[in-house]
Amino acid sequence: MDNREVLIEAVNVKKYFPVKRGWFERGERKTVKALDGVSLVLYKGETLGVIGESGCGKSTLARVIMQLVPATAGEVYYKGNKVTPENIMQFRRQVQMVFQDPYSSLDPRMSVGRIIEEPLRVHMKGLTAVQKEEIVRPVVAKVGIEYEALVKYPHEFSGGQRQRIGIARAMVTNPELLICDEPVSALDMSIQAQVLNLFKGLQKELGFSYLFISHDMSVIKHVSDRIAVMYLGKIVELADKKELFDNTLHPYTKALMNAIPVPDPTVESMKADLTGEPPSPINPPKGCSFHERCPYATARCSEETPHLTDMGNGHMVSCHLCHGAEREVENA
Ligand code: SF4
């Protein structure tokens, strides 16, 4: 029996954005289906990586779980309790967010000290200056920023330091979960590795859980315990990292894996099977939304939508090809 504590559970979450109509457009108003029925759980102490191409809905998923945008349908639970307007402040103290862009996510008019203290002003009102310092000083030490530098402004720091400041701001209320939305994609490669190692070190020391979003499979591979692969607003594969890499099932995941750069020049890099662009989320194709790009697509794939199915060992996949293999095993 699985006795891991569930921190977050998202149940059939949908997020549709209405599309603005042109002056002469008539008829039914169109919607972008950014999330189209996403369900997942995140366990205490783990890093759940979410990967997919730009526009697959992974950042919208982060924002809906964080309640920064309302879901069109579905529910989000925190430790078994549905997140509602009544308990949102308690939820946000325990679940904080690290944003993608360390340049625009810090207010340039505020000193870094004030930026890091901001969540304390919202969630722990009435603290004295001494009490705030007692909280902030060890937090900034853990992310590698000197306390004396907090009088400076964001533009006086490098990109990597600014992301460390963003992490300190997220840590200051002592949350259980950090939702990290592409937290290293705006950084140079060498700085990326330092920040990723910082995330791992903080998790080991403080027991954080992470929902870690990236479009880069090598980043996701480095940080994750389990990995969810998203395509056009849906999860198409979800498994433990080792299982996903040893036994990749979905053709889209295989294509993402093949796109990971190979550091050895003597090894011929496998070309990604992925061709073309993802279809429009305003008008997704019938059947499997990946069928127009899938090298294994059959007639069934363009007619019938596959459902996310547990193939055993918690390895979930949404693909007729794999489900057929499962039936063959069942019938053997
Ligand atoms: Fe490819 Fe068909 Fe599987 Fe979709 S359902 S991933 S089109 S084989």
Four-residue CA torsion sign, 72, 78, 84, 87: negative
**Structure-token match 């027991």, residue found:** 207
What percent of the chain has pLDDT above 70?
90
109 located within any domain: no
Please state the rounded mean pLDDT for residues 290-313. 93
Does some domain include residue 114?
no
**What span, in angstroms and rounded, lies between the C-alpha atoms of 60 and 231?**
13
Mean pLDDT, the chain, rounded, equals 90
pLDDT value at position 325? 60
Q: What is the mean pLDDT of residues 59-66?
A: 96
**Eight-class DSSP state of 232:** T
How far is ligand 1, taken at its centre, from the CA of residue 293, in Å?
9
Q: Is residue 151 part of a domain?
A: no
**Does 305 reside within a domain?**
yes
Instruction: Specify the number of domains making up the chain.
Output: 1
Task: Give the nearest ligand 1 atom to 298 CA.
Answer: 2
Span from the CA of 71 to the centroid of ligand 1 (angstroms): 28
Report the pocket of ligand 1 as residue ranges, CB < 6 Å. 250-251, 288, 290-291, 294, 296-297, 301, 306, 319-321
Q: Does any domain span residue 194?
A: no
User: Is the per-residue pLDDT at 248 higher than 60?
Assistant: yes
Q: How many CB atoms lie within 10 A of CB 215?
A: 18
Average pLDDT over residues 246-260: 91
Q: Is the pLDDT of residue 255 over 50?
A: yes
Which atom, in ligand 1's list, is nearest to the CA of 252?
6
User: Would you tell me the crossing angle of helices 129-143 and 189-206 to the nearest 10 degrees?
Assistant: 120
Q: Which of 40-54, 143-157, 233-247, 252-266 has the lowest mean pLDDT?
A: 252-266
Q: Which residues contact 242 (CB under 8 A, 6 or more apart)?
A: none
Domain assignment present for 131: no
Mean pLDDT of 170-185: 95
Residue 68 domain flag: yes
Q: Residue holding tokens 């140079």? A: 188
Mean pLDDT of all residues in 5-12: 96
Q: Residue 270 above 50 pLDDT?
A: no
Residue 320's domain is classified under what CATH number?
A: 3.40.50.300
Domain interval for residue 211: 6-104+176-188+201-331
Q: Tell whether the model's pLDDT for residue 329 goes beyond 80.
A: no
pLDDT at position 199 over 50: yes
CA–CA separation, 232 vs 318, rounded Å?
13
Ligand 1, residue 294: give the atom nearest the CA: 1
Q: Which of 66, 313, 279, 283 is nearest to 180 (CA)?
A: 66
**Tens digits of residue pLDDT in 78-132:** 999 999 999 999 999 999 999 988 778 899 999 999 999 999 999 988 899 999 9
Q: 305 CA distance to ligand 1 centroid (A)?
A: 9
Q: How much is the average pLDDT of 7-14? A: 97
Q: Residue 35: helix, strand or coil by DSSP?
A: strand
**Which residue, among 45, 13, 43, 37, has the nearest Cα to 203 in the 3D structure?**
45
| Residue 144 forms part of a structural domain | no
Longest dimension (CA), the chain: 70
Contacts of 264 (CB under 8 A, 6+ apart): none
